Chains A and B, each alone.
Chain A
């Protein structure tokens, strides 16, 4: 997977959200407004919006345990042709060293969030046969929506980084 470059990024926006279910919609809308006009096609903007919503929902529910007093932090930066959205919670070391699809929040859900279904790769046929929970799509969607993602943990601070190129990505258009 592509590494996310972070040299001399330009901060476009930074904000916090209360950890309340549904607030992922606020993050989605605000990030979409921030990156509008930066060259993302409509299809890629929609993908970024879905990734931001899923990552924020994960941070609210599994990182901060739906505790409104603990904010989810969102930062949007641009580095050349790359837009990076960083979404941080205080979920800490439960996710230490986790990367896409491994050791993630999938296994620590409380039944509320979608990633409560175990950290197996979602397999629809197995879900339909009752061999996997119907849930567990969150990280799968994120990985498939953005050009790159990675996860860092610093003490209690857990951050998921989502990167999307603004230009030269026409080959990646799937629609």
Chain B
């Protein structure tokens, strides 16, 4: 299935950022998994993965399932997952599904990064 989801990964000191765009649905599985692999392969001691949803315009139930899978894997690897840039609607869905009990939510990526990475020397 062609994915309407894209992911850009960058590794910062102490955290990796996966900037998602488009649609997070079932077709995003390969994209999201590859992005996570890329993020953690760059630093095996990586403590935090930031999922940025600012450019995501659609998340459905299969997308929620993908996020659950990423979260489960990260927890098994003792990594923290945080999210930024969710719209109010998807923030509500993260609350209803209780994802927000396990994923700290930040209003935007800048605030997530500023709290998760050490200040520049």
Contacts and interface: CB of A to CB of B under 8 A. Distances in A.
A158 B84 CA distance: 39
B75 interface: yes
B41 interface: no
12 contacts: A21-B1, A46-B88, A47-B89, A54-B61, A113-B62, A114-B60, A114-B62, A127-B68, A127-B72, A128-B71, A133-B65, A134-B72
A70 B92 CA distance: 34
Q: Is the interface of A mostly helix, strand, loop or mixed?
A: helix
A24 B61 CA distance: 12
Contacts of B68: 124, 127-128, 134
A174 interface: yes
B30 interface: no
Interface in B74-104: 75, 87-89, 91-93, 95-99, 101-102
Contacts, number: 78
Contacts of B93: 50, 141
Given A50-B93, A124-B98, A128-B102, A43 B61 contact: no
Interface string B50-62: 0000000010111
B32 to A, nearest CB: 12
Interface of A: 21, 24-25, 43, 46-47, 50, 53-54, 57, 112-115, 117, 122, 124-125, 127-128, 130, 133-138, 140-141, 144, 174-175
A116 B16 CA distance: 32
Chain B interface category by residue count: 20 to 34
Given A124-B101, A124-B102, A128-B71, A137 B92 contact: no
B47 interface: no
Contacts of A174: 92, 95
B60 A54 contact: yes
Nearest to A142: B61
Contact of A134 (B1, B69, B98): B69
Contacts of B92: 43, 47, 174-175
Given A114-B61, A134-B68, A134-B69, A122 B97 contact: yes
Contacts of A25: 23, 58
Contact of B89 (A50, A57, A128, A137): A50
A43 B91 CA distance: 11
A113 B68 CA distance: 15
